[in-house]
Amino acid sequence: MLKDFRGVPVSTASRDAVALYETALAEFQHYSGDPIATIERALAIDPDFVMGHLFKAFVLYTTSEQRYLPAVRDAVKRAASLRKYATTREQRLTLAAERLAAGDWLSACEVFDEVLIEHPCDALSIQIAHLMDFYRGDAVNLRNRVARALRAWRSDMPGYSCVLGMQAFGLEECHEYAEAERLARRALEIDPADGWSVHAVAHVMEMQGRIDEGVEWLRGREADWAKPDNGFAPHNWWHLALFHLDRGEHAAVLEIVDQRILGPQADMLLVLVDATAMLWRLRLEGVDIGDRFERVADIWQGKLDVERGHYAFNDLHAMLSFAACGRGHAIERLLAQMREAAVGTTSLNAMMTSEVGLPLAEGMLAFARGQHAQAITRIARVRDQAHRFGGSNAQRDLLSLTLIEAAIRSRDLSRAEHYLAERVRLKPTEWSWRLATRIASARVQVAL
C-alpha cells in the first residue's frame, strides 16, 4: 500500500496514480487548471483507485451546483463498490460522500472530523470540510477545524501554505483580523500564487474598511492571482470591484463586471452569484447598469429547472435577479420551489431555506417592488442569523445595505440611522458617509 505526499495511506499500487492525484489536489487547492481532467487520468491508470473516485465526487459537489449531482453519485457509487479494498479512512470518506450527496451536510462534516483525528494531514478532507463549513455558515469550524489539523503539519509538506490560507480565512470570519492577515501573508511568502490567501487578506481589508489598501493589495498582486486558468480569479476580481464601489468609482466597477465576471465564467454559479450581488449593490447606489441585470437573469432563468432547491444561498441570488428585472413568472416559480424545498425533507438546505433563504427572498422582492416597510420587516427578522445559510460576512453585508436603503426610501430615517450606526462602527468608509449624507438630506426634505 502506498502513501500520498504527506504520508497518508492510499489503497492503490500505482505510483503514477498517486502522483496524478497529487497534481489534481494541487490544482484544486489553487483553483487552477482542470483537476477533474487530471484525476480522470489517474483513474485511467487505476480504475479501482478509491481516492480518485472520492476526489471527483468531492470536487464536483463543492461547486454548489446540482447539475453535477449525477456525476457525484456515480463517483460515490464506484467508491462504495470498492469499500472492501479501501483503507479505514477511505471507507469513512465514502460515508461522508454518501451523506453529502444525500444533502446531509452536517453529518458529512462530522465524518470529516473523525477522519482528521486520525489523519490530520489529509489535505483533501481539510479542504472539502472547510468549503462545506463555508456553505453551512459555520464560522467557528472554518477556524477551528483547520486549527485542529494544523498540529500535525510541517512547513515543508505540499499544500502547507494552502492550509494556512484556509486557517486565515476562518480567523477572518471570526473577526480575528490581525492573526488572519499574519497567517495569510505567511502563506503567500511560501506560495505567492495561493489565491485563497490573497482572498483572505482582501477580506480582512474589506471588513476593517481599509479600502485604499485593498485596491493596492489586489492590484499589486494581480500577476499572482489573476492567471487565465484560475477559477477563483473572478471572486478576487469581485473583491476588487467591491473596493472600487466603496470609493464610488462606478466606471471601474462596471469595467471589472464586464471584463472579469460576466462572460463565459458566469456559467459557474459561484461567479454568477458574485455578478448578481454586485449588480444589486450598484442598483442600491443608483448606478445605470444598462441591460446587465437582464443578462444575468437570463442565465439564472436558464438554470432554474436544474438548480432550484439545492442551496438557498444560490436561490436567493436568483431571486435578486428576477426581482430586479420584474420577471413575474420566474419570481412565482422560484418562490413556489423555495417553499417546496423548505418542507418535507431532512436536508440541511430545508432549514436554510425555511429559516433564512425564503424570508430573505420575500424581503428582497418586496424591496424591488417598492414595498419598503414589508422589506424591512422580513429582512430585519432574519438578518442577524443569515450566516446560517452560508456566504461570508462581506457577502452578507448586502442585507444591511438593502435594509438601510429600504429605511431611507420609506423615510423611516431613525431606523436608517440605527442600522447605519452599526455599519459605521465596522466600516467608517466613503460608502458609509454617502449613506449618512443621504439620510441627512432626507431629514431636511422631511422637515420642509
How many Å apart are CA 426 and CA 385, to the nearest integer? 18
Q: How many angstroms separate the first and last alpha carbons of the chain? A: 81
Give residue 121's pLDDT: 98
Helix orientation angle between 328-341 and 292-307, rounded to the nearest 10 degrees:
40
Q: What is the pLDDT of residue 426?
A: 87
Q: Which three cell numbers stand for residue 194?
A: 495561493
Per-residue pLDDT, 215: 98
Type of residue numbered 49 = F
Q: Which of 28, 332, 60 is nearest to 319 (CA)?
A: 332
Of the candidates 109, 107, 115, the one whose C-alpha atom is nearest the C-alpha of residue 134 is 109
Beta bridge partners of 2: 10
The pLDDT profile of the chain, 448 residues, written as one tens digit per residue, is: 799 999 999 999 999 999 999 999 999 999 999 999 999 999 999 999 999 999 999 999 999 999 999 999 999 999 999 999 999 999 999 999 999 999 999 999 999 999 999 999 999 999 999 999 999 999 999 999 999 999 999 999 999 999 999 999 999 999 999 999 999 999 999 999 999 999 999 999 999 999 999 999 999 999 999 998 899 999 999 999 999 999 999 999 999 999 999 989 999 999 999 999 999 999 999 999 999 999 999 999 999 999 989 999 999 999 999 999 999 999 999 999 999 999 867 789 999 999 999 999 999 999 999 999 999 999 999 999 999 999 999 999 999 999 999 999 999 999 999 999 999 998 999 999 999 999 999 998 877 6
Task: Note whether 279 and 289 are within 8 A (CB).
Answer: yes
Domain ranges of the chain: 1-135, 267-448
Where is 79: in which H helix or E strand? Answer: helix 69-81
Q: Which amino acid is at 326?
A: G
What is the reported pLDDT for 344? 65
Instruction: Tell me the chain's radius of gyration from C-alpha atoms.
Output: 22
Q: Does residue 10 sit in helix, strand or coil?
A: strand
CATH number belonging to domain 1-135: 1.25.40.10
370 sits in the region (left: phi over 0; alpha: psi -120 to 50; else beta) called left
322 within 8 A of 276, measured Cβ to Cβ = no
Hey, what amino acid is at 349? Answer: N
